[in-house]
Amino acid sequence: MSRIEKLAPDQWDARLVAAIQPDNLTDLEQGLTRYFAHCPEQALGLMGFGGALKRNRSLPDRLVELVRLRVAFFNQCRSCMAIRYADAMADGVTEGLVCSLERPQEAENLSAAEKAAIRYGELMATDHLAIDDAMYEELRTHFSEAQIVEFGMTVAFFVGFGRLAATWHMVEELPEAFQKAESIAPWGADTIEVR
């Protein structure tokens, strides 16, 4: 059971309804908006930021999804781990690739750029002060300065809101494997594809 009350779309501010169009989405796809609807002004601002990160992305969807899932493991955000985004799947994310996230630095099916990005995401989620000059130099071998800034904002979004979502314990719509109390991983469990 969620620790914060979800609001049904008929209780949302009209601007949120217009932005999300919840009638076209499953409950799970409505996601955090069901909770953020308690604070519509903040929700609209956050949606603008999150939307800009996604719509104006210069990084591959595959790379972003792999990092998102690795961060979700450290956050133990169950909804984050259960979801697979359709655009990332269209860009080559498979469950076999997700299973590589268990030991990403040893995986043969991940590129050097993906491994560097995943390592950065891991450190942001676990020990951000360990991100040093060497880490940024490694990122620069694969990404432009603008991409590194974009990536940093994206990972910060994942870490912060993934941790928040984990504390809210939003598990009702998830496959059974994600509803259990013990520590889980996004690899090897039933998943849900969303738009």
8-state DSSP, 150? H
8-state DSSP, 37? T
Same domain, yes or no, for 136 and 183?
Answer: yes
Same domain, yes or no, for 96 and 177?
Answer: yes
- Tell me how crowded residue 84 is: count the other CB atoms within 10 A of its CB: 19
pLDDT (mean) for 1-13: 94
Show the tokens assigned to 17: 């309804």
Q: Report the CATH number at residue 98.
A: 1.20.1290.10
Residue 164 covered by a domain:
yes
Same domain, yes or no, for 80 and 174?
Answer: yes
Query: What pLDDT is stored for residue 189 in this prediction?
Result: 65
Adjacent-strand bridge partners of 85: 194
Same domain, yes or no, for 158 and 130?
Answer: yes
pLDDT tens digits for range 128-181: 999 999 999 999 999 999 999 999 999 999 999 999 999 998 888 887 888 876
Which residue range(s) make up the domain with 15?
A: 9-55
pLDDT tens digits for range 53-86: 999 999 999 999 999 999 999 999 998 998 999 9
Same domain, yes or no, for 97 and 183?
Answer: yes
* Alpha carbon distance 186, 111 (integer Å): 20
pLDDT, averaged across the chain: 93
> For residues 50 and 157, is the Cβ–Cβ distance under 8 A?
yes
